[in-house]
Amino acid sequence: MFIFWYRFVLPELSRISTGFGGDVCDEVFAEHLSSHVGRAFEECAIQYMWRALKKKTLPVSFRRIGRWWGNNPAQRREEEIDFIAYSGDKAVFGECKWRSIPTGEDVLVEAMRKAKLFSSFTDVHYMLFSKSGFSEPLERRAAHSESITLVGIEEMFLISR
């Protein structure tokens, strides 16, 4: 809430307070709101991971979790991973999608490709978080794999504190 206030509302407070709130919504919020909420969704996924760890409902116990970005020497480009939760040689690679369409297998394939940058992890799992659910092919693939977990937005907030 504070990030939203300082990033979007405070700079436009003069226009909002003089009756141009609708214009501010159309011009500023509409353009940037989705990326702001997407970042908040990633933080909610990390909080979900901590709660699930406490309840012992994860495929891997972890000691550390966080965003990762770095260099991919093979493709000579920067890579970003929404989060990696790890301990020793075990890791969970997490991807979070805040969009209006179901998350598809392409997101899993991309996460698997990025995970190959970390050869020290020998026990690897993938957790995908999605606002709009998952495609049927991805759900079928996850149903047949112990290393893939799909978490919808409803499930993210069901684990009690």
List the one residue out of 154, 158, 152, 146 whose CA is nearest residue 58: 146
Q: How many residues does the chain have?
A: 161
pLDDT of 119 strictly over 80:
yes
What is the percent of the chain where pLDDT is above 70?
A: 94
pLDDT of residue 161: 47
Rounded distance between C-alpha atoms, residue 156 and residue 52, angstroms: 10
The whole-angstrom separation of Cα 115 and Cα 81 is: 9
> How many C-beta atoms surround the C-beta of residue 152 within 10 A?
16
DSSP track, 47-93: HHHHHHHHHT-SSS--SEEEEEEEEETTTTEEEEEEEEEEETTEEEE
pLDDT higher than threshold 70 for residue 160: no
Q: What is the pLDDT of residue 159?
A: 53
How far, in Å, CA of 153 to CA of 41, rounded? 9
Element spanning 148, H or E = strand 148-152
DSSP, residue by residue, 105-129: HHHHHHHHHHHTT-TT--EEEEEEE
Average pLDDT over residues 88-97: 96
Mean pLDDT confidence for 4-27? 86
Cα 37 to Cα 31: distance, rounded to the nearest angstrom: 12
What percentage of the chain has pLDDT greater than the value 90?
Answer: 63
Domains, in order of start, for the chain? 2-156 (3.40.1350)
pLDDT at position 128, please?
A: 98
Please give the residue that has the higher pLDDT: either 74 or 115.
115
Whole-number Å distance between alpha carbons of 153 and 132: 8
